[in-house]
Structure 1
Amino acid sequence: MFCPECGREVSAEDSFCVNCGCYIRPSLLQTGTSVTYTPDEQQTGTYTDPYVYQEPYVEPKRSKGPAIAMVLVVAIIIISAALVLPMVQTNLHGSLYGKSFSSGLGSSAMMTDTGYNVVASDGFQTNDAELTVNGNEIIVTLSDAVMAGYGTTDWTITCDTTAAFTTDTANNQATIVTNGFGTFTLKANCSNGIESHLYTFTVSLQIYRAYEWKFDGGKFSFDISFDYSEYYEQAHKAPYHRSIGEGIGYIHSYTETENFVIVSTTIENIESYLEDLYTKAYGSCSTNQNFANFILSFVQINFEYQLDSVQYLSEEYYAYPMETIYSGKGDCEDTSFLVDAIYKKAGYKTAIVILPGHAMAAVALSSYDAPSLSNGEIFKHPVEGDMYYACETTVNGYQPVGASAGTYGDHYYSEWISDDSEYRFYLVD
């Protein structure tokens, strides 16, 4: 059973989702009960419920700054309407309730038992060989047409990484067994005693990630795979990984944070899948507020918050988008760089917001329909003729673009913003 708002698993006895605070009407979850839909509701997949609730959004976690003691008492949600959290008036179910949408690799993925996706890169286009996967065995089998012209085959197999692997070769078949990843090159030198021909095949074991979340009542999912080299380039060859300072790896100004917003091949693929899912759900896709919310929800729900000191054993570490995708977690600036990269690929103007002890993403919108907040604020700021809305990535569930409960001291974040100070919106070109 899953929460109708954030999609996290809940039990039949729960009255509230412990992840997002959503009120769960027991009749929707208890075993043996059902919901009766009207004909219109059956057609649209929506359900109309007279109960309207206020969904709390957890105050952002911070990687540094003053410690704030927070005690989550679910019962308070029932008896109190004055929590110091942004509260958004919303319907019990969104317009996509009961619908599911998927994209990505799907059934085309060939997975090993250790969770890598096996991709036929080169040499298979002419049907000279077939690629199959059996457990952790990667098998390349020469076609009958190839073997009909040649009697013997000598195989040579190499890998572009230090992954340990074993091989087993027969006349028409080569088998690789490995727990690592990388690109394998298989060369089959076929001969009939008079002439010979060299066939070359490349097979990539790619890192695999699957994502699932809920938005507007609908359930969304897609999966991707990517070469380890794409992660390695950003994790180990990028010049900067530190906040402002002197020495190797440090940036010299927050204006340089835009260098962390890299649109790589995987970012392009993620944005493409998000656009595909959004179009399936809503019929079309454009750089509007709702698609910006949709992209933000993907990052908020699928990427875990983690301190730099725990993840990177450093007080402050700026992770590039591929590092965050690889690990599935990051702190405030890491996930802000990630969502900004997706926004940038989607065609939005974006910014990085630097605050005391915190960082956020921001997206420019030509029009904005503000959610109804009982507290908190709509955090926005004009920059060079465009209005940018801050995007909180470190909450535990969905929080829309612009909605913020973040404070430093006794002041909301917006009160710290000044174009003459270091606390401001830094544009990403």
Structure 2
Amino acid sequence: MPSWITTPVTADLVRGALDLEPTPQGVLPHRLPAWARARNADTQLAVAESQPSGVRLVFRTRATAVELDALPTKRIHIGAPPRPDGRYDLLIDGHPAGRATATGGNTLTIDMNTGTVEPGTGPAATLRFTGLPERDKTVEIWLPHDETTELLALRTDAPVEPASASGRRTWLHHGSSISHGSGAESPTTTWPALAAARGGVELVNLGLGGSALLDPFVARTMRDTPADLISVKIGINLVNADLMRLRAFTPAVHGFLDTIREGHPTAPLLVVSPILCPIHEDTPGPTAYDFSRLGEGRLLFTAVGDPAERAEGKLTLGVVRDELERVVTQRAADDPNLHHLDGRDLYGEADHAELPLPDRLHPDAAAHRRMGERFAAHAFAAEDGPFAEDGGRVTRRI
């Protein structure tokens, strides 16, 4: 048996989280700071921001064996197909070197008809990675992107020290469940994680499932978070929730961008409109569950708005794309580091024909990979990409 060394999980070993909440047993990573969480009253967002998409432990060590004690929280949707256990990805010097899952854990049992949530408790799990090369190396353990994960203990058979980011630029991204990683195979294969790896940047992922709603406290969080490169993917959740009309949408977008610019006045800022989603291209929200295929083990979504309601200012994806392009074009006259990307360039009609959205709303693992590759090719293009090395003056670095 190895002679274990236990290392406390502290902020200098964690990347991608904006807060580590102390718990009786360890720490709980959050992707929104405590002050922002205090301004939120929505359970959906509370769950989403505690799911550590893009959060990873990073350290230098000569260890050949690593153990991580973790307490996951599993979501159980009554009547829906069971969700797979969250995956932990191990990287060594940036290369995939192992995967694991954690069984047990706490539970949230969700009744989709009533919206009620029943919490339950369960045991912690130990993740083990063995047979690692006996040399000095950087080890990363990416936490499950869609499973709240309390970190209890880190053990190794050799000492651990924090790893340097080596001067790499930091990319701060905000978006919906698609950016959060819904449908991705694992935490390193969400489209933002794939794009960050290709671009050679450090990712802070504020993709918040169901919760990219132009909340002012999210804009202020982005304003105050150190970053060199920033992107916001806007639209689908506003349609899903049928949250606002066009009259409110336009000033809300301006306000969100204004707030980000208060902290990052010259950083490259890329506004991305929604990817193709046929149910909402011309039909407003809200989005609802379509239970008609549950007998086949499938849970689908449907749009329940009326296309005629666009005349009353209701939002569709087509309306959102047109308005975002107009807003960015208007602002770019005075903000040369502000850029626009049509989300259909990441996933459009031809992609849908080949890789249809399995639940009519979220891309699958193959589509995530395609979106990550396309975003990286566009944003990090050497000559004219908005995130090219000389594409904008750095305002903050971590």
Larger strand fraction of residues: 1
Smaller-chain TM-score bracket: under 0.3
State TM-score, norm by structure 1: 0.22
Larger helix fraction of residues: 2
State TM-score, norm by structure 2: 0.23
Please identify the structure whose Cα radius of gyration is greater.
1
